Amino acid sequence: MKSIGEIAKIVQVPISTLRYYDEIGLIKPEHVDDENRYRYYSDDQVIQLLHIITLKKYGFSLDAIKALVQEESEDVIIQAYRSKIEELDYDIKQLNLSKDLLQKRIDQYLEGLKGVKPTVLIVDDSAFLRNIVKDIFTQNNYLVIGEARDGQEGVNLYKSHQPDVVIMDIGMPIKDGFEASQEIRAFDPEAKIVICSAKKEAGDIIKGLKAGASHYVAKPFMGDHLFKVVDDVCQKGIALDCGLMEEHLGRIMASNQEAETRMEDLIDRLQRGGEGEELAVLIQTQLKNK
């Protein structure tokens, strides 16, 4: 026989639950020590307990389980299972109805806030980072209208809510940030997208801008910098000029002597928070000096 503590570990339920099952007569221990009142269970009772736990997972009440474990007729047991399925189907329909009603209420609420607060969609496969970004923007009077875990979900949410601005990661499952940005811009040519990614090579920046992003913020980022970039894109329409960026990078890369220094200068300013206007001036100035 096994002690109640050993049984609790085997069937993975609290000792208090096993004691309660004993009190209501669902399953009583094989032996109770007269001195310390400690409960002991047989190997057969381990199997019975596992069966009880399974029935509980099916959604049966303890009263129904008590009747089922004592039932010997297979027909009665099968009918009980069928009745439970019908009950669950009904519950699922009611839950879906409640879910739809709640979603409609949320949509009405968000629709009412549109125009009052700027709206932002966060697309990142990291829940941790989504929460950080969400906190930054809700504290700055933005309405986070949606959160997506991958690029495809981001596209779907954009089409449903059409936020004022999107914060887009690159490396995500199903569809990466480049593809998602392209699809969003194909749906809405006026969409404003800020890529926020750990990918910060010059080629990634250009690819992101070509995909339709207005600006690029490298991870890790300072919260105030990310907010300023996104807010400038959203409220002022500031955007990096992809053509100028690509031309500039091409020209400085043609000069082996200065390429590394000037490339580092450009990307450093981008990472440190250079605004679109500042970077445009930098590019134009260096093009004139080339």
pLDDT single digits (tens) 220-254: 888 999 999 999 999 888 877 666 666 666 665 55
| pLDDT tens-digit map of 193-217 | 999 998 877 788 888 888 999 998 8
Task: Please report the pLDDT score of residue 199 as a whole number.
Answer: 83
Give me 252's structure tokens: 């400085």
Give me 132's structure tokens: 């950080």
Task: Please report the pLDDT score of residue 105 as a whole number.
Answer: 83
Task: Please report the pLDDT score of residue 284 as a whole number.
Answer: 42
Q: Is 206 in contact with 173 (CB distance < 8 Å)?
A: no
Indicate the residue type of 123.
V
pLDDT bucket at 277, cuts 50 / 70 / 90: very low
pLDDT bucket at 290, cuts 50 / 70 / 90: very low
Cα-trace Rg, the chain: 30
Mean pLDDT of all residues in the chain?
Answer: 84
| pLDDT tens-digit map of 74-126 | 999 999 999 999 999 999 999 999 999 898 887 777 776 666 789 999 999 99
Task: Please report the pLDDT score of residue 57 as a whole number.
Answer: 92
Cα–Cα distance measured from residue 165 to residue 195, given in angstroms and rounded to the nearest whole number:
11
